[in-house]
Every structure is written in C-alpha cells, then in structure tokens.
C-alpha cells in the first residue's frame, strides 16, 4: 500500500481531517507528523490509513466513520443536528505503533480521535 499526501482538492477531506484533529503524533510526539494517507479493504469494509512520517505509526479507521465525523463537525449541519448532536463514537485503531514509540505498547489499541489527541498532548 502506497502512502501519499492529498493536499489538492480531490481526496483532501480526510487529509484535512487528520491534520486538523491530530497535529501531534500520539506515538512519537512530533509536532509535524506530516500524515500520509492510504486505504485498504478488509472484508468489504474500506479503511483509511494515516501514517506518521516521523515514526511510521499507522492509524486505521473505517471510511464511513470518518465521513460521519466530518459531517457532524460541519457547522452547516449543526442546526439540524442539534437534537441529536451526540458526537459519533468513532474508533481509530493503532495498526502499527511506530518505531519511536514513547508510550506503553498501544499496538492494536482502539481510541477515539479525542483520546488520541489527549494522548499526544500528554507526551
Ligand atoms: Zn509519529
């Protein structure tokens, strides 16, 4: 699977999403993870893969979950979503813990994006 940046218009939504939500890598604590993207299909389910360029840690998340998360954070939709404004619980899996891991073994652990951001902040 090849990883690359999607800074253009096409396919840049998940790129922006991870750059915004996780500006610091939760595995190696770099402030410039320069996330690259790839995807894979497991049992007919599509996953995004986000790779830290510093430590090669890889996070995986279901594509439709990312879409759900992005929709829930689009201001335009907030008015209509107010009644059911529960943030969708979306779990990112730490597929590869990376080679500069500063934390305990998180290989295969699943966390929400907020928990990952908190973990990154605690490093
Ligand atoms: Zn990293």
What's the rounded Cα separation, in Å, for the pair 119 and 15?
Answer: 20
Tell me how far the alpha carbon of residue 31 lies from the centroid of ligand 1, in angstroms.
Answer: 9
Residue 98: give the domain boundaries.
12-121
Tell me how far the alpha carbon of residue 16 lies from the centroid of ligand 1, in angstroms.
Answer: 17
Tell me how far the alpha carbon of residue 97 lies from the centroid of ligand 1, in angstroms.
Answer: 8
**Span 16-69, pLDDT tens digits:** 999 999 999 999 999 999 999 999 999 999 999 999 999 999 999 999 998 888
For residue 11, what pLDDT is reported?
A: 65
Tell me how far the alpha carbon of residue 98 lies from the centroid of ligand 1, in angstroms.
Answer: 7
Asked if residue 103 is part of any domain, the answer here is yes
Helix locations, 22-112, DSSP H = 63-72, 75-81
Domain count within the chain? 1
Query: Both tokens of residue 58?
Result: 């890889």
Asked if residue 110 is part of any domain, the answer here is yes
Asked if residue 5 is part of any domain, the answer here is no
Asked if residue 3 is part of any domain, the answer here is no
Contacts with 69 (C-beta within 8 Å, 6 or more apart), sequence order: 17, 87, 88, 90, 113
Asked if residue 63 is part of any domain, the answer here is yes
Residue 95 has pLDDT above 90, yes or no: yes
What's the rounded Cα separation, in Å, for the pair 80 and 92?
Answer: 27
Neighbours of 56 (CB within 10 A): 16
Q: Report pTM.
A: 0.84
Tell me how far the alpha carbon of residue 39 lies from the centroid of ligand 1, in angstroms.
Answer: 18
Tell me how far the alpha carbon of residue 27 lies from the centroid of ligand 1, in angstroms.
Answer: 5
Tell me how far the alpha carbon of residue 96 lies from the centroid of ligand 1, in angstroms.
Answer: 10
For residue 82, what pLDDT is reported?
A: 53
Asked if residue 61 is part of any domain, the answer here is yes
Tell me how far the alpha carbon of residue 105 lies from the centroid of ligand 1, in angstroms.
Answer: 14
Tell me how far the alpha carbon of residue 77 lies from the centroid of ligand 1, in angstroms.
Answer: 33
Closest CA to 27 of 113, 96, 112, 111: 96
């Amino acid at each position: 699977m090849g990883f690359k940046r999607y800074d253009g218009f096409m396919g840049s939504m998940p790129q922006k999403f991870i750059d915004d939500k996780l500006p610091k890598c939760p595995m190696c604590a770099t402030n410039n993870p320069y996330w690259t993207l790839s995807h894979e299909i497991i049992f007919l389910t599509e996953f995004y893969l986000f790779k830290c360029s510093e430590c090669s840690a890889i996070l995986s998340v279901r594509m439709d979950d990312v879409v759900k998360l992005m929709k829930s954070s689009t201001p335009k939709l907030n008015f209509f979503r107010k009644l059911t404004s529960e943030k969708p619980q979306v779990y990112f899996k730490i597929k590869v813990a990376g080679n500069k891991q500063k934390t305990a073994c998180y290989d295969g652990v699943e966390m929400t994006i907020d928990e990952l951001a908190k973990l990154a902040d605690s490093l």
